[in-house]
Structures are given as C-alpha cells and as structure tokens.
Structure 1
Amino acid sequence: MRKVLALAAAASLAGCATMPAPSRSARPAVVPGAMQFLYGSAEAAALSEQAYNALVDNVRLRVAGPRPSESAIVLPGDGAPVAASCGDKPFAAVFDMDETAILNLGYEYNDAVSGAAFDAGRWARWESGGADKVAAVPGATAAFAALRTMGVTPIINTNRNVAAAKETADALARAGLGSFVHGETLFLKGDADGKSAKDGRRRAIAARWCVLALGGDQIGDFTDALEGTPAARRVAVSSPPYAARWGRSWFILPNPVYGTGLGSGWDDTFPAEKRWTDMQGAK
C-alpha cells in the first residue's frame, strides 16, 4: 500500500511539473503616448521646471515688495469671484498633490499594463500602499525648499482620502518634499466642507494664511467656478478675471494622462471652419 501511495504521489508531482504556468496578459509593446510624454519625456520635465521656476520667482517678488493685500485664492462672490484678504496672515503657497507635486509612477505603470478602467478600490489600495513608488515632479523639491527658505509654507490640497492621511504624508516625505500635517499643511478630500470640490478647503486655508501662489494640473486646483463644456471652460480661462492670473499667481503643470483636461469631442477640439482635407492625398 505504501508503495502504491508513493507511486501515486510521484505521478501527481510529475503532472504538476509539466503543467504550464497560468497565462498573464502580455504587457503592451508601446507605452501609451500621454504617459510617455508626462513620465518619460524631457519636454514634460522642462514644462514642470518652468512652472516651478516661475512660481518661485513670482513669490520671491511678492515677499520682497510691499505686503500683499490680496490672496491668490479667489472665492465665489455675489457677482464676480473675489480674492481673499491677506491681512497679517503668514505666507503660504498651495499645491495639488498628484501630478503636481508627485508623479504616481507605480500606479500609472499598473494602469498602463492592465488597461483597466479607473477603480476607486484600486486607487485606495495605491494610496495606502504606494508611498515608495512615487517621485517628485521635476522642479518641485527645489521649489518647496526655496519657498520655505523665504518663510513661505507649502500646503497640499488634494483629493486623496482622509483614511490614508498618514500614508499620503509619507509619500510626500519620501519624494523629498518635506513634512506635512493633516489639517494644518495637508488638506484631504472632505476636509472643511465634506466635498470633493476644493473651494471649501481653499476658503479654510485663506482664513489662516496669505496664499501667494497656487499650483495644480487641473482647473479645479484653482477654482470650482469654471464648469460647463470643454469649449466653455477653454474660453473662460482666457477671460477676466482669470486670464491675468496664469503665470502670476496661478501656475499650471502638464497632465495629458487623466482629468478634466481630457474629454473634448471633435467639434470642441477642431472647429469646423479650421478643418483641412488633403484633396490630393485623399483616395
């Protein structure tokens, strides 16, 4: 009986040894173009450096000159948006986190190879477990250090979840951006008013700080007022009272990978009167 069992076990092991490994989807041969640009190109790095250099230079001028009376934070009013008052509040600069201060390299790699649609559960797992798979956006580390040297406190206003507050602060620290404290220099989704829109948090920040600059990769990192179709939003950013803020107190960084910058249709993107057809090349 023992010999029979031994032979049976050997046969079972032999069968296991010859079984093929479970198949896995092959990694795409080419990195998605938008990810190549944002995470792999010199051009995107240069744009980020440019934005941070301009932000630091403008803040330096504001710190050195007469004390600012108006914040970079603009809040909804009865009519036109109104800049918050600075008074004698300490200086700060407010930044979005994802693809503004840090690059989510680990998450976006997983996104690229899986091809999966956005999933809130997967993002939550990334927030709680991906702190060592991020990198600072080019220019951010030097800019945050320069701001602190000037007496200007960097503040993060992000839509990451409160449940991952500790891990979020850890990711920022690991990226070399310094220490951030939830409720003081780190504001998360739902803080202040329970919403994912950021005006409520900006209002709370403006009540305590004189904000000299805002940095982000989405229009919602600056104001919640610019809603509507992609075409309407594109017109609005070049209209008063917003046009004069870009490159002076509002600084936007590139993000062709996700967010509100995507989603325009053919008519929004290519006006009918500007379309061209190569009649000679057309078959």
Structure 2
Amino acid sequence: MIRTDILKSLAIAVALGGLSGCATVPPAPAAAPPPAMQYLYGSAEAAAASVQAYAALVAEAEGRAARRESAVLADGATLDAPRFADCGDKPLAALFDADETLILNGGYEYDQARRGGAFDSASWDRWEKTGTDKVVAVPGAAAALTALRAMGITPIVNSNRSAANAAESEAALAAAGLGTFRHGETLFLKGDADGKSAKDARRAAIAARWCVIAMAGDQLGDFSDLFAGDPAARRALAQSRAIAALWGRGWFVLPNPVYGAGVAGGWDEVFPVGQRWTDPGSKRKE
C-alpha cells in the first residue's frame, strides 16, 4: 500500500488565539468525510465497481488456469514488450494486494479524517496491530476467493503491510471472511524477499513457486514496479497497446481514490492546456 498526503488539502486551518496571542487549537473535525472517502467506503458505485472487477476475475480464471497462462511479468520483461513467467507444472494461484483490494481500512481512514494532518506511519502501525476486527472485505472479494478455491486456485496476498505484524494481518484477513493465509506461504509482506517495499522481487519469488494466473490490486505497483514517471506518463503506459490488452485479461484493478500514486498531479498534468474550457459567462480569468 502506497500512501500520499491527500488530507493536508482537506484539513481545516488551525485557529490561533488565547491571551498569549500564540496558542494553537487543534483543527475541528470536518463536517463530512472527504469526497474520496465517501466514494470508496460509502458509495454504491464503488461497491458495484469492485463486484464487477471480481466477477471479471473469476470469469477469466477458469480459462487461464486451463491454459496455464501466467499473469506475472518475467524477469527482464518491459511494459512495451511484456513476457510472462513460465508456469510449468506449478500449482495454480491468483495474486492479490491486501489493503483496498481484499480489505477496506475504513476504521483507520475514519480516524485519519477526523484527526486531519499527514499520513502517520506510527498510527498505521498501531492500526495493523489493533484494528484486525475493524476491517471488512472489499465487495465481491470473499465470493471470488471462495470460487477460486473451488477451482483449485490458491489465493495469495502480496502486501506492503509490515512483516513484523504478520500474525495481525493473518487475523485481519480471516476476520474479513477471506479465509486462512500464512506468512511466507500464502501471505507475503513488506521486506520479504529483498527487504524492500517494491513488489517485483516478491512477485518473482511467488511466481517461482506458483502458476499465478491472475493479479488484482488498487495501485499499478500491484502489477509491476515498472510503472514509473509523472501522472501523464503512467496514464499513457496504462493505455498503451501491450498493457491495455492485460486489463480484465489477467490484471484486474480495484478503485481507490483515497491514496496512492494515482492521487497525484498538478493542474497542468490533470488538465492539459489544450483541453481546458472557461465559461464565457464567468468573470473569472485564467
């Protein structure tokens, strides 16, 4: 899971007051959750998009399993010329990110939104340790994992949760109704394989043991660490001919407008000059 400081722009300014003229007052809670959180954790539309993604994954899985077709890029592959790991006679698996892919961390985000301020890694660590009974399954995830297991396809998790909290992450996945996962067997965490947060080394280690026929995540890094560059470059890569052919056919994306590399970009990156419009009836000037 990759975090960005999206809540800075949403926090209410700290009030200054008191007889001393310099005392600070904690920001008051916002009147409502940030729109991105309203969408991901509260909307029917986000639930529908997630169910749709998981239904597509299950529908695609049987054929890919029969063909023993890997979804993990092979060592040395590029996004322009993707090649895939060899399945051989390895057991079948499907690979998932955890946070905002299999489970929703609404409890943590509630606390973060009410407190305001930047992402706090210490607070997140406490959430991993104590919030195991507060996570819920992403809509469609539990049914999809049940269907995959019935096909003989083992769900495996590749997450950037801390390896030090492996037992708690196992408990969180189980509490969400997603079944049993074991660290080092079907659960791989930050630091496993190469000690880094990037996921390619873990994916390679998993693909060396399993025929991974599908992958699902909420960040492009859940599919390959090769997605790099500014927002425009990443967006172009995601739509390139070679990569576009993988969406819904081996790679499956879940919505996450709350945090991550997808929540980035300035005015010029998000709204290219040639695509802008200014209301001729408005008095506002560019």
Same fold (TM over 0.5): yes
Q: Given that residues 77 and 84 in structure 2 are in contact (C-alpha distance below 8 angstroms), is that contact kept between their aligned partners in structure 1? A: no
> How far apart, CA to CA, are the structure 1 residues paired with 2:276 and 2:75?
38
User: Does the Cα contact within 8 Å between 1:93 and 1:213 map onto a contact in 2?
Assistant: yes
Runs of 5+ unmatched residues, structure 2? 1-24
User: Counterpart in 1 of 2:70?
Assistant: 71
Q: Distance in 2 between matches of 1:217 and 1:125?
A: 23
Answering whether residue 61 of structure 2 is matched by residue 59 of structure 1, we say yes
Q: 1:191-241: per-residue Cα shift (whole Å, max 9, x none)?
A: 111110000000000001001100000000000001011100100111143
Distance in 2, Cα, partners of 1:239 & 1:256: 22
Match of 2:49 among 44, 47, 50: 47
- Unaligned residue ranges in structure 1 (runs of 5+): 1-22
Please give the TM-score of this superposition, normalised by the length of structure 2: 0.87
8 A contact 1:75–1:199 mirrored in 2: no
1:25 Cα deviation after fit: 5.5
Q: Who is 1:38 aligned against?
A: 40
AA paired with 1:38?
L
Corresponding residue for residue 96 of structure 1: 97
1:126 corresponds to 2:123: no
Q: Which has the larger radius of gyration?
A: 1
Aligned equivalents of 1:41, 1:235: Cα separation in 2 = 28
In the TM superposition, residue 58 of structure 1 has moved relative to its aligned partner by 0.2
Higher relative contact order (CA 8 A, sep 6+): 2
TM-score between the two structures when normalised by the length of structure 1: 0.88
Contact between 1:75 and 1:223, CA under 8 Å: does it hold in 2?
Answer: no
How far did 1:120 drift?
Answer: 1.1
Counterpart code for 1:126:
W
Equivalent residue for 1:209?
210
Q: Does 1:144 align with 2:145?
A: yes
SS in 2 for 1:48: helix
Q: Which has the higher helix share?
A: 1
Question: What is the CA deviation profile of residues 37-93 of structure 1, one whole-angstrom value per residue up to 9, with x for unaligned ones?
Answer: 000000000000000000000002223x4x32x410013417644210111111100
Cα distance in 2 for partners of 1:56, 1:125 equals 34
Name the counterpart of 1:160: 161
State the distance in 1 between where 2:58 and 2:240 align. 25
Indicate the residue corresponding to 1:239 in structure 2. Answer: 240
Supply the distance in 1 between the matched residues of 2:73 and 2:152 (Cα, whole angstroms).
Answer: 22
Give RMSD over aligned pairs: 1.4
Contact 2:166 2:189 in 1 (8 A): yes
What is the Cα deviation at residue 262 of structure 1? 0.8
Shift of 1:26: 4.0
User: Cα–Cα, structure 1 residues 121 and 60, in superposed 2: closer, same or farther, change >3 Å?
Assistant: same
The CA distance in 2 between the partners of 1:34 and 1:47, in whole Å, is 15
Residue type of the partner of 2:40? L
Distance across 1 between alignment mates of 2:248 and 2:58: 11
Amino acid at match of 1:77: G
Counterpart for residue 179 of structure 1 = 180
The alpha carbon displacement at 1:24 in A equals 7.2
* Matched pairs, number: 258
Give the C-alpha shift of residue 244 in structure 1: 0.5
